[in-house]
Structure 1
Amino acid sequence: MRKTFQSLILAASVVTLPPSVSQAQPTSHSVEQTAVKNVVLVHGAFADGSGWRKVYEDLTTRGYRVTIVQNPLTSFDDDVAATRRALDRQDGPAVLVGHSWGGTVITEAGVHPKVRGLVYVSALSPDAGETTAQQYDGYTTPPEFVIETSGDGFGFIKPDNFAAGFAADATKADADFLKASQVPINMASFGVKLGHAAWRTKPSWAVVATEDKAFDQRMLQDMAKRIGAKVTNVPASHAVYFTQSAVVATVIDEAAQQSGAASR
């Protein structure tokens, strides 16, 4: 029997008591014009950092120093610790970027003093005192996105649904690779309350994939609105960071320029 994503994360939380724009084009500016030259990229659930490759290449070509966090996905605290560890190693201010579950991670870790701005890429953005699971209340997850949970509480995207639910606009070869390399997440992570909400004190940008089948579209738009993010809508699947890397990199570039100027 197929279980909805909401029911799975609810079960996990009980068990664990403890303005639309067209596709942006790369700009010709040099990163030397902005005080923020560091970018830290945080992947989401069911993936690893390799999906950021094209965003990494685009940003390094523009002159940014890019760090990719490898979330263990073993717990909320472990992922936040991995991100803080990466931020500690930056040689100056940084823009912190999260995809999907990575949005929850950067919301907590983004209070780090080196973070100047936040970029949410089809990402979750809970408030302090909220869980990730609560973000789904009142919304319906599209039927294409199906999670299978193993006996130890880790979730995978059902293989037969992976392309449709995660990467519908990727080539078959790319979708197959992403499916084969997916990293399971401890579903209990979705039931942990956040201690901080970095978006309350730091400027935010949001890239919303309008063909995302991992989230209710209303949910994505409502989350971005609540945090006061500058929104870029792009026709893409949940794997927007992978399939529309130029758009994502351009939004990150904009965030670095604007948050850098604001900090002077």
Structure 2
Amino acid sequence: MSTSTRIVAATAAAVAFATASAQAVDRIPDAQQTRNVVLVHGAFADGSGWRGVYDRLTSRGYKVTIVQNPLTSLEDDVAATKRALDRQDGPAVLVGHSWGGTVITEAGVHPQVRSLVYVSALAPDAGETTAQQYDGFTTPPEFVLGIGEDGFAFIKPEAFSAGFAADASAADAAFMRDSQVPIAMSSFATTLTNAAWRTKPSWAVIATDDKAFDQKMLHSMAEKIGARVTEVAASHAVFMTQPNVVADVIDEAARGADQATR
């Protein structure tokens, strides 16, 4: 073996050791009770955007379930989330992005839910509609919807990148644009029965370059629910473009929920 080959091999071994050590440090303790995570996507997207978060959490030892919301009504999305929660073998962190925040607010009273994470997400109260969260705030001009005669809405293709995924690669933004899932706009007028954040500890990730929501609106909702806030420079697609930050906050919510129950 030549000297250069030995150096390359030694370097590769060192990198592998460092990577393995980092993964070992990151893995959740055996004594930790909250080891399950349920991820709920929002409007105009599906569960595939959670892949980066999924990979990071499963590498730490979490069991992760991704809900595929039909986006046909609040009731249907809550039912899909509850089916996922029913499958958990222990306490779970329930995570919602955007519209998914409304879903976890309603579904999060499920007994398996230990804590909540709102990722640039809506957070109504019981007795409120999602639409009421927008009162007094201005949606950025980059976020433009097209609503069909059937009442389902898409983000207009020419506005998708700027309004939803400005920090994603051109290829990823194009794929998300062309695979977006429409939402029934009537969902935003449905009154919530439950507000899980009133009884469950909450965390919030706020994307500072989000063009789907007024920044003041995001901070107002986070303050209302008493969330521990983490800000990150990202677009509305923060759940996909900043998986390290989002996974770290979910991990914090799992560990924090355990400590709160001791």
Of all paired residues, the percent bearing the same amino acid is 72
2:183 partner amino acid: I
Matches within 5 A, 1:177-196: 177-196=175-194
TM-score, length basis structure 1: 0.89
**CA-to-partner distance for each residue in 1:11-37, whole Å, 9 max, x for gaps?**
xxxxxxxxxxxxxx9993432242100
1:36 maps to 34
Structure 2: how far apart are the matches of 1:27 and 1:212? 34
1:8 maps to none
2:4 maps to none
1:263 Cα deviation after fit: 2.0
Matches within 5 A, 1:1-264: 28-31=25-28, 32-264=30-262
Structure 1: how far apart are the matches of 2:23 and 2:123? 27
1:132 partner amino acid: T
2:170 partner amino acid: K
Structure 1: how far apart are the matches of 2:195 and 2:25? 33
2:250 partner amino acid: I
Count of residue pairs brought into register by the alignment: 240
Residue 236 of structure 2 aligns to a residue in which SS? coil
Q: Which has the higher contact order (CA 8 A, sep 6+)?
A: 1
Q: Is the 8 A contact 1:33 1:257 kept in 2?
A: no
**CA-to-partner distance for each residue in 1:220-240, whole Å, 9 max, x for gaps?**
011000100000000000000
1:174 Cα deviation after fit: 0.4
- Structure number with the higher helix fraction is 2
1:207 Cα deviation after fit: 0.1
Larger radius of gyration: 2
Consecutive unaligned residues of structure 1, counting only runs of 5 or more, are: 1-24
Change (3 A) 1:209 1:156: same
After the TM superposition, list the runs of 4 or more consecutive aligned residues in structure 1 that deviate by more than 3 angstroms.
none
Change (3 A) 1:239 1:185: same
Q: Is the 8 A contact 1:205 1:231 kept in 2?
A: yes
Structure 2: how far apart are the matches of 1:170 and 1:157? 16
Consecutive unaligned residues of structure 2, counting only runs of 5 or more, are: 1-21
Structure 2: how far apart are the matches of 1:27 and 1:72? 37
1:260 Cα deviation after fit: 1.6
Residue 97 of structure 1 aligns to a residue in which SS? strand
Cα RMSD (Å): 1.3
TM-score, length basis structure 2: 0.90
